[in-house]
Amino acid sequence: MGRKLLLEHINVPGINTFDVYRSKGGYAAVEKALKTLTPDEVVEEVKKSGLRGRGGAGFPTGMKWSFLAKPEGVPRYLVCNADESEPGTFKDRYLMTHIPHLLIEGMIIASFALGAKTSYIYVRGEMMPQIRILEKAIAEAKNAGFLGKNILGTGYDLELYVQPGGGAYICGEETALIESLEGKRGNPRIKPPFPAIAGLYGCPTVVNNVESIAATVPIIRDGGDEYAKIGIGRSTGTKLISASGNLNKPGVYEIELGVPVEEFIYSDEYCGGIANGKRLKAVVAGGSSVPILPANLILKTINNESRLMSYESLSDGGFATGSMMGSGGFIAFDEDQCIVRNTWNFARFYHHESCGQCSPCREGTGWMEKVLHRLEHGHGKLSDMDLLVDVSKKIEGNTICPLGDAAAWPVASAIRHFRDEFEWHVTNPTEAVSRNYGLSHYADPLSKPEEVA
Amino acid sequence: MLRVENVTHEPVEFSAALLSKFADLVSRYPEGRQKSALLPALHETQAELGWLSVPAMDKVAAYLKIEPIEVYEVASFYTMYFLRPQGKYMLEVCRTGPCCLVGAEKIMDHIEQTLGVKEGDVTPDGLFSWRGVECLAACGFGPVLQIGPEYTFYENLTTESVDKLISDLKAKANN
């Protein structure tokens, strides 16, 4: 069993209430930080922990905190990014639903470290039940003296508010989130200036993912060095993985970074194998934006080494034969799934969610959706695959925010690894609408269960 | 004025409860930053009125001391705001990749047949409308749907559980 730092007490009845959370050692990290450490020492612990942003980009959290400008007389803000919308990712919803005080505790620690007196948790609007859960948890914490004026008699004041979004994937991008929190459309800002210099209301701001903020609790409680001992190489600590698709046991799992992908998919401790006795065809390992990999490449790297659930191992081989850790949205496809149809579905998603500011993204995502639609419905041409790659290349890197890249990568990688399936859709248009292509050479390299027996 | 086709816009009144919610929202932001309350204020307004008519948006603008266009551009950008009346129960089914791997398309077809209306239309009794929406961040429990304004979640849907949900909602509405 791997160590659990975030979900250790997830099955304790009533852990969503202040009293039970406190009885399990909750808010001890806040006491330690506020009473025995200076804000800079808290930042130092987080730096030592090696914690990398859990929202998708993987940027070191402690370093992000140390970039925050601290001009005299200007308020600073911490905003928690709970706009979880990346297809395949549902860990933050899970954490906020079942153990909301972990996020509140992390918010207090992080706000103290950054010198923020007012902090916001920006939750996607569809998560109204979670918004109510968080508001109740905030009220409980305030009652117990962990929020409001003069927290624990230390002289530190903090107000914490929950802000709902309006239903827009783009608001997960930090500057779009800030715009939205200011009551505007979610159009990402041109950077620089970065939010650390000019963010919310033009003031220095840090935006962190829910899981990153929650992870500061065990980091402060046990110390950054202890946290850094878990994991492998520069992938320290534990990570929440959202497992979905054709798995026996989809759900949220906390793993120690470095678990082999094969173990994660097939062991009973985690996903318990592919549902209905089918074989694995492909995996999207880090949310819909990251490159899709066929079964043989997700289980083993091109050098025939076992692939691990870590930032480095998942990206081993670059985009040619690797992928990315991303947000930890792990989507498994069985042998009956159609890669063309799924790629079209994702392309439609990005077209729908493009904010429309940058022409390459606004127009390009729509073209990719249309071309993929005709391929899926038996009207494609053999030249369409090159056309799609060409369009994706013209989006990638040419937009204000990473949504353009996020839209380009799934299409380019699907064609890179599954070109024969796309071509089969063109050369067998009637068959392609009535049945799927199947496994072909990306066959699950593991033996079938019956062959083992 | 914002033009929404085939919709009539009657004048609206906001309840005292709604106005007090607005006041609470505005208190969360620094002085002069009351525009930050726009998204939550629109959610509250929609929860009370069922949708956002132009007069309702104009009233929100007046309350927050911003121009009406600042409200229209936000209400038309985000997908959760309805610029035309919807059924009393709006069934929003996740249609994105992971849910489709486990049968979301079948669920949407079934809802369309059962309700007898196309995506976005309202049933003649005014009770139901439905639409496909993008990823609801519940991929491990798919297929899923949500119903506002509380955004109650229904997970691991089957055609049978959808039938039961629809008949339960009908019974609830008729009581």
Provide block-wise average pLDDT over 10 residues at a time, chain A (453 residues).
Answer: 91 97 97 97 97 94 96 96 96 97 98 98 97 98 97 97 97 97 97 96 98 98 97 96 97 97 96 95 96 95 94 94 95 95 96 97 97 95 97 96 96 95 94 86 64 47
Contacting residues of A for B35, CB less than 8 Å apart: 182-184
Q: Does the structural domain B16-77 have CATH classification 1.10.10?
A: yes
CATH number reported for the structural domain that contains residue A302 in this entry = 3.10.20.600
- Distance CA(A220)–CA(B107), nearest Å, equals 46
Q: Can you read off the two tokens belonging to residue A20?
A: 């039970």
Does A8 reside within a domain?
no
**A366 & A255 share domain:** no
For residue A108, CA distances in Å to A15, A93, A214 come to 19, 20, 10
Picking from B30, B77, B96, the nearest residue to A87 by CB comes out as: B96
pLDDT 10s digits, A92-143: 999 999 999 999 999 999 999 999 999 999 999 999 999 999 999 999 999 9
Contacting residues of A for B79, CB less than 8 Å apart: 166-168
Residue A452 confidence (pLDDT)? 47
Calculate the CA dihedral of residues A349, A352, A353, A359 and round it to 10 degrees.
Answer: 120
Query: Is A214 within 8 Å of A103 (Cβ atoms)?
Result: yes
Does A235 reside within a domain?
no
Residue A23 confidence (pLDDT)? 97
User: What one-letter code names the amino acid at A92?
Assistant: D
- Distance CA(B38)–CA(A356), nearest Å, equals 21
In Å, how far is A128's CA from the nearest CA of chain B?
A: 6
**A167 & A286 share domain:** no
pLDDT 10s digits, B132-165: 999 999 999 989 999 989 999 999 999 999 999 9
DSSP H stretches of helix in B50-96: 54-64, 68-77
In Å, how far is B36's CA from the nearest CA of chain A?
A: 4
**A185 & A307 share domain:** no
Average pLDDT, stretch B2-16? 86
Residues contacting A53, CB < 8 A, separation 6+: A59, A60, A61, A64, A208, A209, A212
**A136 & A38 share domain:** yes
In Å, how far is B30's CA from the nearest CA of chain A?
A: 9
Tell me if B43 and A125 make a contact (CB, 8 A cut-off). yes
CATH number reported for the structural domain that contains residue A403 in this entry = 1.20.1440.230
Q: What's the pLDDT band for B3 if we cut at 50, 70, 90? A: confident
**A133 & A220 share domain:** yes
**A223 & A210 share domain:** yes
Query: Is A403 within 8 Å of A409 (Cβ atoms)?
Result: no
Contacting residues of A for B152, CB less than 8 Å apart: 129
**A185 & A44 share domain:** yes
**A99 & A30 share domain:** yes
Q: Can you read off the two tokens belonging to residue A54?
A: 């859990």
Query: Is A78 within 8 Å of A206 (Cβ atoms)?
Result: yes
- Distance CA(B120)–CA(B113), nearest Å, equals 14
Does A376 reside within a domain?
yes
- Distance CA(B40)–CA(A165), nearest Å, equals 8
Across-strand partners of A330? A243
Q: Show me where the domains of chain B are located.
A: 16-77, 89-174
- Distance CA(A62)–CA(A65), nearest Å, equals 5
What ipTM describes this predicted complex? Answer: 0.96
CATH number reported for the structural domain that contains residue A224 in this entry = 3.40.50.11540
Query: Is A228 within 8 Å of A49 (Cβ atoms)?
Result: yes
User: What one-letter code names the amino acid at B166?
Assistant: I
Handedness of CA B38, B134, A101, A39 (dihedral sign): negative
Picking from B38, B43, B135, the nearest residue to A183 by CB comes out as: B38
Picking from B80, B95, B139, the nearest residue to A166 by CB comes out as: B80
A274, A301, A334 - which closes a domain: A334
Q: Which residues of B touch A (CB under 8 A)?
A: 28, 30, 33, 35-40, 42-43, 64, 66, 70, 73-74, 77-81, 95-98, 100-102, 133-142, 146, 148-153
**A412 & A361 share domain:** yes
Residue A450 confidence (pLDDT)? 55
Average pLDDT, stretch B101-119? 96
What's chain B's Rg over C-alpha atoms?
Answer: 18
Residue B9 confidence (pLDDT)? 83
Q: What's the pLDDT band for B106 if we cut at 50, 70, 90? A: very high
Coil/strand/helix, residue A251: strand
Which class is B89-174 in CATH? alpha beta
Picking from B36, B80, B98, the nearest residue to A244 by CB comes out as: B98
What strands lie across the sheet with A205-209, from one edge to the other? A148-151, A156-164, A118-123, A77-82, A205-209
Query: Is A408 within 8 Å of A363 (Cβ atoms)?
Result: no
Residue A277, Cβ density class (10 Å: 0-12 exposed, 13-18 middle, ≥19 buried)? exposed
Q: Which helix (H) or strand (E) holds B132?
A: strand B128-133
Q: What's the pLDDT band for B1 if we cut at 50, 70, 90? A: low
Does A10 reside within a domain?
no
End-to-end CA distance of chain B: 39
Bond prior to A402 in cis (omega within 30° of 0) = no
Q: Which of A320, A323, A297 is nearest to A310 (CA)?
A: A323
Across chain B, mean pLDDT equals 95
**A108 & A69 share domain:** yes
Residue B175 confidence (pLDDT)? 81
Is pTM beyond 0.80? Reply is yes
Query: Is A118 within 8 Å of A314 (Cβ atoms)?
Result: no
Picking from A125, A128, A245, the nearest residue to B98 by CB comes out as: A245
Query: Is A385 within 8 Å of A423 (Cβ atoms)?
Result: yes
Residues contacting A235, CB < 8 A, separation 6+: A52, A257, A258, A310, A311, A312, A313, A325
Number of domains in chain A: 3
Query: Is A418 within 8 Å of A297 (Cβ atoms)?
Result: no
Query: Is A57 within 8 Å of A242 (Cβ atoms)?
Result: no
Q: Can you read off the two tokens belonging to residue A258?
A: 């470095």
Q: Which of A353, A352, A371 is nearest to A412 (CA)?
A: A371
Query: Is B78 within 8 Å of B46 (Cβ atoms)?
Result: no
Average pLDDT, stretch B69-98? 96
Does A303 reside within a domain?
yes
Q: Which of A319, A353, A332, A347 is nearest to A422 (CA)?
A: A347
DSSP H stretches of helix in A252-358: 261-266, 295-299, 311-314, 318-321, 339-353
- Distance CA(A251)–CA(A243), nearest Å, equals 5
**A210 & A257 share domain:** no
Across-strand partners of A292? A284
For residue A265, CA distances in Å to A221, A286, A311, A333 come to 31, 14, 17, 11
Does A446 reside within a domain?
no
Tell me if A246 and B149 make a contact (CB, 8 A cut-off). no
**A127 & A254 share domain:** no
DSSP codes of every residue in A106-135: HHHHHHHHHT-SEEEEEE-TT-HHHHHHHH
- Residue span of the structural domain in which A275 resides: 240-334
Q: Which helix (H) or strand (E) holds A80?
A: strand A77-82
In Å, how far is B81's CA from the nearest CA of chain A?
A: 7
Across-strand partners of B153? B146
